[in-house]
A and B are shown apart, each in its own frame.
Chain A
Amino acid sequence: MAAISVPKEYVNFFDIKKGIASWIFTHDHKRIALLYFYSIVSFFLVAFCLGLLMRLELIAPGRTIMGPQMYNQVFTLHGVIMIFLFIIPGIPAIFGNFILPMTIGAPDVAFPKVNLISFYLYLIGGALALSTLLYGDGPADTGWTFYAPYSVKTGTNVTVAVLAAFILGFSSILTGLNFIVTMHQMRAPGMGWMKMPLFPWALYATAWIQVLATPVIGITLLMIIAERTLGVGLFDPALGGDPVLYQHLFWIYSHPAVYIMVLPAMGIVSEIIPVFAKKSIFGYKVIVYSSLAIAFIGYFVWGHHMFTSGMSAEARIIFSVLTFFVAIPSAIKVFNWISTLYKGSIDIKTPLLYALAFIFLFTIGGLTGLVVGALATDIHVHDTYFVVGHFHFVMFGGAGFAFLGALHFWYPKIWGRMYNMKRANIGFAIFIVGFLILYFPMLVLGIMGMPRRYYDYLPQFTVPNEISTVGSWILAIGLIVIIYNLIAGRKGPKVSHNPWGSVTLDWTHTQSPPTTFNFEEIPEVTRGPYDYSDYQASDEQI
């Protein structure tokens, strides 16, 4: 395992320059990553609380704590924040920004100033989205999907919400653009494309989706604004418009968007597993091609969100078939991860627990995806709680858990200290138990026929709803333990530059925390990204 010459005295990127101004105007990708981190986590917590409120309303039939109008606004804001402010930016903007340059041997991203701009666009979009709470008829009540014609007609603050989403999209585009150029132009000498680790590869596939798909929702949202402000009737049937066309345009972005959410998460799993199996990833090339395949095929399946909208039979069949194709590369990755673990030297640490949870929960989510992806079964479960369960399993159980895994994995690199492993694992256990109790009943409710986005339900749906709500409380307790542990970890024991024993450049050739430009000199790469062939266990006690 390569050891770097670590000068005992060095200045890390926190200490090099202090004061608010040095953070607000920074060009350092690591500082920008942390600016994103604190912002994103804050928005996540707001949306998490909105989720808890929803579950509280649904603990019993009839009105519990809010009426139907407010409920519509709560689930809309919950969705808008979780999707546009947490999951889509989450892993790329935080871990992509922090780790990507280091893991490819670069001192920063290709366009550091553009990076800072993308953060400010994020903040502005987030502020605008939350501002809708403060005036007029309140936040949008359309669902995060803003379907026309209701989104055009409703008096709630749709225009501002949609404008926020537009600006956030721009932020996402700039991040993707930056990452593509960074990977093309700034890989260390000797690191050909096929020597690049899998997290950057995941970010690369994701970045292309960010760049090519986001503008479509950008223009679609501008059309909604035009309809609301200028009265153009693009999607108004009374004026010859087609509301289903809105759905097409919306999902042409929003389906690829779910791959923006999950591809980086898969990259994290691919990164964590070799470290804690002390074994090279099984089928590196296949995982690379699978990532690219998911990104590519993902552009052509959007119609599966619209099976009951009135699309032609031909369209429905084509989209269903393509949807089944896109599942294949994801399944391939699961096989590769498991094969990597097989006969590996397994080291059960918190990051690995999250990675394993990802595989388990994402698989459940993926399998339920087949149910919604098949035409006949979708008729039964479309717009029911089955779908809500499905996407929470893949987005939360998948991307959400990967996010926590990444946080627990790179924590020592970012802050130079280690958190309490036992407490982290307890937090994890409570969290995943809460997760399963919260979301599994939704799959049952959906099959039983409970519609989604309803603030009330028939009496026969009561028990699973009660169970689900209790699950949300257990989840919340788990989250509290996790957060407390990570905050306490800031005062934990200091660690070396590579406490987990990884072989990728981000661990082997940088300090913990890193210096501003990451490297004293750009490393020269001669080995594969997961070459554990001469690994020797270190003496470091974790």
Chain B
Amino acid sequence: MSSEAGTHDQLFHRDDYAKKMGMWLFLFTEVLLFGGLFIVYAVYRFKNHEAFHEGSEELSTLIGTINTVFLLTSSLTVALAITAIQKGRSKRAINLIMVTLVLAFAFLVNKYFEWNVKFEHGLFPGMEHYKMLSNGEAQFFNLYFLMTGLHGIHVIVGGILLLIIAEGIKRGNINQGNYIYLENAGLYWHLVDVIWIYLFPLFYLIT
């Protein structure tokens, strides 16, 4: 076999755009994944408008708003991290990612307390107070736990991804000339943010 023609490096080229497109396609699958839950939400809210309002009253608008601000700010810090690495400032990029992770952690802590309050009031499926809820309100809480729970899992996954990326920047594998993986992790993070942007009014702000 010839040594020049047909070799790996001769036939394959680095293609950042392909990686980006691949990430966007993955984001589409996430949109449709959550989309299924939003469909269930739409149907049950349509059928139980009053009950959904009652359910929403049990949630703290203040904590929800604070969490929204945390996530929006974490999106900012990720975007700034990309700007930083584009300008060759790897250290700054790592710091910004750390701030993102702190904000993500704060979000999760809030979520933990919120859920805990629900458990204490017996509002989780199977618990005492839940069993006494009207049907519509039960569906509200089913969806609340499922959707914020699935979202929370994605926050954790996103956080782990960003941690791995930060390590990659530290080692120099991700740098000013090669930062597609940071961009892709950022895209994932922004999607997590966008999902919360919809969850927030749909669960916390039902008048």
Contacts and interface: CB of A to CB of B under 8 A. Distances in A.
Chains A, B in direct contact (C-beta < 8 Å): yes
Given A110-B18, A242-B43, A11 B1 contact: yes
A10 interface: yes
Interface string A506-518: 0000000001010
A184 B146 contact: no
Contacts of B12: 107-108
Contacts of A178: 22
Interface stretch (B2-10, B88-96, B109-117, B157-165): B2-10
A214 B132 CA distance: 36
B177 interface: no
Given A110-B18, A177-B22, A184-B21, A216 B36 contact: yes
B37 to A, nearest CB: 6
Interface string B142-181: 1101100010000000000000000000000000000000
Nearest to B22: A181
Given A185-B15, A230-B126, A520-B5, A215 B35 contact: yes
A232 B21 contact: no
B136 interface: yes
A459 interface: no
Nearest to A110: B18
A239 B138 contact: yes
B146 A226 contact: yes
B1 A249 contact: no
Contacts of A242: 43-44, 47
B29 A173 contact: yes
Contacts of B125: 230-233
Where chain B touches its partner, the secondary structure class is helix
A121 B33 CA distance: 18
B122 to A, nearest CB: 14
B29 A215 contact: yes
B36 A245 contact: no
- Of B12, B32, B138, most buried by chain A (CB within 10 Å of CB) is B32
A212 interface: yes
Contacts of B126: 230-231
A318 to B, nearest CB: 17
B199 to A, nearest CB: 15
Chain A contact patch, size range: 35 or more
A215 B36 contact: yes
Given A240-B48, A517-B8, A185 B139 contact: no
Contacts of B35: 215-216, 219
Interface string A457-483: 000000000000000000000000000
Interface residues of B, number: 44
Contacts of A173: 29
Contacts of B15: 110, 185
A214 B30 CA distance: 11
Contacts of B142: 232-234
B69 interface: no
B205 to A, nearest CB: 22
Given A219-B34, A232-B146, A181 B6 contact: no
Interface string A155-189: 00000000000000000010001101100111000
B62 interface: no
Contact of B21 (A181, A215, A216, A522): A181
Contacts of B48: 240
A522 B29 contact: no
A241 B141 CA distance: 12
B40 A234 contact: yes
Nearest to B39: A249
A224 to B, nearest CB: 12
Contacts of A177: 22, 25-26, 29
Contacts of B32: 212-216
B60 interface: no
A211 interface: yes
Nearest to B30: A215
Nearest to A517: B11
Interface in A205-235: 211-216, 218-220, 222-223, 226, 230-234
Contacts of B135: 239-241
Contact of A185 (B18, B36, B40): B18
A219 B25 contact: no
A146 to B, nearest CB: 15
Given A177-B25, A215-B29, A521 B138 contact: no
Contacts of B134: 240
B198 interface: no
A519 interface: yes
Contacts of B36: 215-216, 218-220, 223, 249, 252
Interface string A1-44: 00000010011000000000000000000000000000000000
21 contacts: A7-B1, A211-B25, A212-B32, A213-B32, A215-B30, A215-B33, A215-B36, A218-B33, A220-B36, A230-B125, A234-B143, A239-B135, A239-B138, A240-B48, A240-B135, A240-B136, A240-B138, A245-B43, A517-B6, A520-B2, A521-B6
Given A7-B1, A222-B150, A239-B138, 12 more contacts: A177-B26, A181-B21, A184-B21, A185-B18, A219-B35, A219-B36, A223-B36, A223-B146, A234-B142, A239-B135, A515-B6, A520-B6
Interface of A: 7, 10-11, 107-108, 110-111, 114, 173, 177-178, 180-181, 184-186, 211-216, 218-220, 222-223, 226, 230-234, 239-242, 245, 248-249, 252, 515, 517, 519-522
Interface of B: 1-2, 5-8, 10-12, 15, 17-18, 21-22, 25-26, 28-37, 39-40, 43-44, 47-48, 125-126, 134-136, 138-139, 142-143, 145-146, 150
